[in-house]
Every structure is written in structure tokens, then in C-alpha cells.
Amino acid sequence: MKNAGAKSGRGFDHKAGGQSLEELAFWECQKRSGDDADLKMARDLPDDTPGFILSLLSDFEREVAEFCFSGAGGRVLDAGCGNGNLLLRALSGQAAGLTSSRFVGLDFSRNMLGRAAWRARDEARAAFLRSSVTCLPFRDESFDRVVSSGVLTCLPTVREAELALSEFNRVLKPGGVMVVDFFNSRSHFTLVRRHLLRESIAAPEYVTPSEFGMSLKRAGFEAIDLRGFDFKLIQGYLFLSPLRPLVDPCFFQERVSRFLEARVVPRMPGLSILSYRTYVKCRKV
């Protein structure tokens, strides 16, 4: 899920394990209709988002689903599933070697979870539950894999992020796999936002690769693979929309970023540490 004001830290939903009431209210009122409605809903995109940008985001979700779910077997938890975009891609076969017999989608927003459940209404392998990633309602060692995309970066404090990682470890079986992501505070995109746009860059939304690696280690995980996305210099369409026709009418930086994501990084995964958004696949140790 996309960050939507969770950094305020004002007011918490205790039933949702301490997550921001402001963020919860934001997701509860999300509605979209028309073409690409679920993609726009999950990312809070305006209705006039160019088709080219939507196609890039669809490709991004397809590749993230492949990275997160490929090779999974047994029971899989999508912790913070939102409206189910990634989970539905996995269920539809967009993840190689998927042998899972059971999926659980969990989210703290009734609105988003309800949308996910409705979209998967004909899928017997999937169940949905409302709860928080910081207080999972499952027994120890219940899952073979935990996927949590765009969630740790939305939690209001570092402590909440650490609690979530601890919970993911608790519910995973020995040797189980977890896939999570972070926003790189050392990426060129983030540095531009910090030094030129004077935006606040702070944990847990933004961390360095080494800081994130240490958090994983403290939570009892070892990284086994990573995949970087978004190598743009600036925010692109959402930041430059009034000037886009004059400044970058051909979406040049998005095309370059997409080339790196799709063609270069899979062959040279070490370059992922230069990306703005990095997914890390870990094993419980």
C-alpha cells in the first residue's frame, strides 16, 4: 500500500495494533471506478493518470508479484494485502512454480480488504482477515511464506516496523521465506527530495540498505535475494504533471528507469541498492 500520511503519528487505532488513524481513514474512503480502477485505488492515483504510467505500474506489480510469490508452497500470508493487487496476480498464475495450497490476505482497512475479498470471491484457495501486521492473529510457525509489500514504510514509528518484522518471524515456520520492501534514503531520488525539495526523510519510511539489513538480522532473518525498482531522478508524472508536456513529454526518465528494472537489474542484482524501492527476500534463521 502507498504511504498516505502515516508519518503524523497523531492518534492510533489500538485494535489495529497501533497504526495511524489518519492512514486508516484515508484507505477506508478510497473509491475508484472505470478502467484500471484497482491500480488507481491501490496507489491513490488521479483519474487522469496517463495510460503510459499505468502500464508501467502494471508491469511493476507483475514483476513484484513474481519476485514475492514465485516458488512458494504451503501456506502464504500477504500481510497488508490492500485491495489484493499482488495476491490476485499470484492466484492468477503470474508467479512461476507456485504450489501454495492456501493464501491468507490480511489488512487493517475494511474497505480495501473487502475489495480484495470480492475480487477473489471465486478463488477457493484464498481467505481474508482484518488485523494489524504488528499483532498477527495466528499461531507460531503457521506459514511457509510471508509477503508484505509497501507496509513497513507506512508504519508510524521504527518500533512499529520492528514489531511487524518480529511478528513475521514468529508466524513463519523454520526456514520460511519473507519478502518485504523499503525506500532507500541514499538513492539519488531521495537525496533530491531531501536537499532540493526540503522534504523530511526519516525512518521507518526511509532507511539505508545497511540499516534495513541490520533490522532484518535483529528480527532473525538473513537476506537471500533482492530486486530494485524505480531509478528515476525525480518523482516524474506526479511531481511534474503541470509541466510534463514541456519538460518531458516522452516520459524519458520513466523509460530509462524501466529499462534498468527490466533488463539490467535482473542480471546485476547488486545494482538494486541504488534503487529508490528495494524488495528483499529473506529466510528465517
Cα dihedral 203, 277, 7, 239 sign: positive
pLDDT band (50, 70, 90) for residue 29: confident
- Statement: residue 240 has pLDDT above 90: no
Asked whether residue 1 is domain-assigned, the answer is: no
pLDDT band (50, 70, 90) for residue 162: very high
Long-range CB contact pairs, 6-12, < 8 A, 24+: 6/154, 6/155, 6/156, 6/205, 7/156, 7/200, 7/202, 7/205, 8/156, 9/156, 9/157, 12/156
State the residue range of the domain holding 136.
Answer: 6-284
Phi, psi of 281 (to 5 degrees): -100, 130
The CA distances from residue 145 to 18, 73, 250, in Å, are: 24, 8, 40
Structural contact between residues 157 and 181, judged by C-beta atoms closer than 8 angstroms: no
| Mean predicted lDDT score pLDDT of the chain | 87
At residue 1, the pLDDT reads 35
Look at residues 180, 175, 118 and name the one whose alpha carbon lies nearest to residue 146: 180
Asked whether residue 151 is domain-assigned, the answer is: yes
Asked whether residue 276 is domain-assigned, the answer is: yes
**Residue 79 pairs with which residues in a beta bridge?**
106
Asked whether residue 177 is domain-assigned, the answer is: yes
At 243, list the grid cell: 509541466
Structural contact between residues 211 and 178, judged by C-beta atoms closer than 8 angstroms: no
163-192 pLDDT, tens per residue? 999 999 999 999 999 999 999 999 988 888
- Statement: residue 98 has pLDDT above 70: yes
At residue 19, the pLDDT reads 57
The total number of structural domains that make up the chain: 1
- Statement: residue 81 has pLDDT above 70: yes
- Statement: residue 33 has pLDDT above 80: no
Look at residues 103, 157, 105, 115 and name the one whose alpha carbon lies nearest to residue 134: 157
pLDDT band (50, 70, 90) for residue 120: very high
Mean pLDDT lowest among 137-146, 161-170, 228-237, 275-284? 228-237
34-74 pLDDT, tens per residue? 679 999 888 888 887 888 889 999 999 999 999 999 999 99
pTM of the model: 0.88
Asked whether residue 239 is domain-assigned, the answer is: yes
The CATH number of residue 66's host domain is 3.40.50.150
- Statement: residue 135 has pLDDT above 80: yes
- Strand 172-184 versus strand 277-284 pairing type: antiparallel
* Strand intervals (E) in 160-276: 172-184, 206-207, 221-229
Bond preceding residue 245 cis, omega within 30 of 0: no
At residue 236, the pLDDT reads 61
